[in-house]
């Protein structure tokens, strides 16, 4: 199938960095076949880029995906005075000279995880001024846990007119911090702030995601002392300074899950390479429950989907190692045409069913009752004009469009570009008919 950007009326600007409105157009009903590789993890790259602020020379990140969220993090680094160079999927960051301690409002609003820069900037400079971050609107995602923890480390934080004015004139001091929820972002912010703090910091009820382990490994490669990352209790012994290093970002487990759902929804037969199977251990049994045949190795998963999937009895999003909230929408799109009723329970974000209305426009039968979604499988979905409401909801619409009869047009694809690198080109390698159009 052809795979190219189609321009209508004017020449196209550079891929993925356009100020014009783009959309995906999909002709569905084609079973996917072939091999596809998983790019580096968005949710690991962003805190790693923030962590480079702690170092006083150059750091080099390999397997760093070319995403709009990563671009936003690089813009913040450049504003702070860092030198940033990208060649392919390698990003070099020189943090020898940092000339600013503030982050402008427009840069903070580009992505939610921009708040992770707070701990790193104060740890390095002793001060910071930022506004509240942006990103997908998924309901209440307060940064109170971040602020409470950073205050325990000795950071003075004044909230004024939407800004956070932060300082630690005499440096940060290690302490014991008990998180009321294993927040990934809060755990990362504490780790970054504590890396240069005086003494030992203990995080209880810490997040255990693979991205937390990746951040700890990077900090340690730079001369830090982080122990037991990936467990509920993390210990950070502060050091006087960190140096840069070369480091490779882990594969994106949500991208891997998305490609598996694409194959499942189309009755496809594909090999997903360059992943870490352990990171998607909570997802693979669900694919098998739907009737997919899997051949699993440490760094790949081959999936052969049936003509019609089986329903899922109970899918509950939970903190890692449970089923990830980021994979809920993609899996729901695949389950929309399964035989029987699938049950989803969203326990992380209160507004993560925004994609449901768009799936229903394509003929899905989904009912929401609080945190629970009942998905009554229909015989088929039909192409329609739909809108990506957020990053993972946008991925769900691509999955639905690939499996649907007819033509699907997805607008607001800027959300999808935040977390998927050239997804249309990658899917075309599997035989999909999907085009990016102006």
> From the annotation, which residues make up the binding site?
42-43, 112, 141-145, 326, 348
Return the HEC string of the chain.
CCCCCECCCCCCCCCCCCCCCCEEEEECCCCCEEEEECCECHHHHHHHHHHHHHECCEEEEECCCCCHHHHHHHHHHHHHCCEEEEECCEEEEECCCCCCCECCHHHHCCCHHHHHHHHHHHHHHCEEEEECCCCCCCCCCCCHHHHHHHHHCCCEEEEECCEEEEECCCCCECCEEECCCCCHHHHHHHHHHHHCCECEEEEECCCCCHHHHHHHHHHHHCCCEEECECECEEEEECCCCECCCEEECCECHHHHHHHHHHHHHHCCEEEEECCCHHHHCCCHHHHHHCCCEEEECCCEEEEECCCCCECCCCEEECCCCCECHHHHHHHHHHHCCCECEEEEECCCCCCCCCHHHHHHHCCCEEEEECCEEEEECCCCCECCEEECCCHHHHHHHHHHHHHCECEEEEECCHHHHCCCCCHHHHHHCCCCEEEEEC
Asked if 114 and 104 count as a contact pair (C-beta separation under 8 A), the reply is no
Report the candidate in 109, 157, 110, 116 with the shortest Cα–Cα distance to residue 132: 109
- Residues annotated in the binding site for phosphoenolpyruvate, as ranges? 42-43
Contacts of 417 (CB under 8 A, 6+ apart): 16, 67, 68
Asked if 156 and 200 count as a contact pair (C-beta separation under 8 A), the reply is no
Q: Is 360 a catalytic residue?
A: no
The span from the CA of 331 to the CA of 29, in Å, is: 18
Strand partners, 269: 33, 304
Q: Of 55, 74, 82, 136, which is the active-site residue?
A: 136
Ordered strands of the 156-160 beta sheet:
127-131, 163-167, 156-160
Residue 86 buriedness (CB in 10 A; 0-12 / 13-18 / 19+)? middle
The span from the CA of 63 to the CA of 288, in Å, is: 29
Q: Which residues are part of the catalytic machinery?
A: 136
């Amino acid at each position: 199938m052809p795979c190219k950007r189609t321009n209508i009326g004017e020449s196209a600007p550079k891929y993925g960095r356009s100020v014009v409105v783009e959309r995906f157009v999909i002709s569905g009903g084609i079973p996917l076949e072939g091999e596809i590789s998983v790019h580096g993890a968005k949710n690991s790259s962003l805190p790693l880029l923030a962590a480079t602020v702690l170092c006083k020379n150059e750091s080099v990140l390999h397997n760093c995906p070319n995403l709009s969220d990563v671009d936003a993090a690089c813009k913040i680094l450049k504003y702070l005075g860092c030198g940033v160079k990208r060649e392919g999927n390698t990003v070099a960051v020189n943090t020898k000279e940092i000339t600013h301690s503030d982050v402008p409002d427009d840069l903070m609003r580009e992505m939610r995880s921009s708040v992770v820069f707070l701990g790193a900037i104060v740890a390095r400079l002793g001060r910071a001024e930022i506004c509240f971050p942006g990103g997908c609107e998924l309901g209440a995602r307060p940064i109170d846990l971040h602020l409470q923890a950073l205050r325990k480390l000795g950071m003075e934080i004044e909230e004024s007119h939407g800004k956070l004015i932060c300082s630690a004139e005499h440096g940060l001091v290690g302490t014991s911090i008990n998180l009321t929820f294993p927040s990934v972002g809060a755990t990362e912010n504490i780790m970054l702030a504590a890396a240069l703090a005086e003494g030992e910091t203990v995080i209880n009820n810490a997040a255990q995601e693979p991205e937390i382990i990746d951040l700890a490994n990077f900090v340690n490669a730079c001369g830090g002392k982080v122990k037991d990352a990936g467990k509920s209790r993390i210990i950070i012994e502060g050091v006087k300074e960190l140096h840069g290093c070369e480091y490779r970002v882990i594969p994106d487990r949500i991208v891997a899950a998305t490609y598996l759902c694409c194959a499942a929804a189309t009755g496809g037969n594909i090999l997903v390479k360059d992943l870490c199977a352990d990171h998607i251990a909570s997802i693979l049994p669900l694919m098998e429950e739907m009737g997919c045949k899997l051949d699993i190795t440490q760094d790949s998963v081959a999936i052969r989907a049936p003509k019609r999937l089986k329903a899922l009895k109970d899918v509950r999003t939970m903190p890692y190692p449970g089923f990830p909230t980021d994979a809920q929408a993609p899996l729901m799109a695949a389950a929309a045409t399964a035989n029987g009723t699938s049950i989803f329970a969203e326990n992380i974000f209160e507004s993560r069913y925004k994609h449901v209305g768009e799936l229903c426009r394509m003929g899905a039968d989904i009912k929401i009752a609080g945190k629970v979604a009942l998905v009554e499988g229909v015989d088929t979905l039909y192409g329609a004009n739909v809108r990506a409401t957020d990053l993972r909801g946008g991925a769900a619409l691509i999955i639905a469009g690939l499996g649907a009869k007819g033509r699907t047009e997805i607008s607001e694809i800027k959300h999808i570009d935040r977390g998927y690198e050239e997804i249309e080109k990658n899917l075309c390698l599997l035989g999909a008919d999907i085009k990016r159009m102006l």
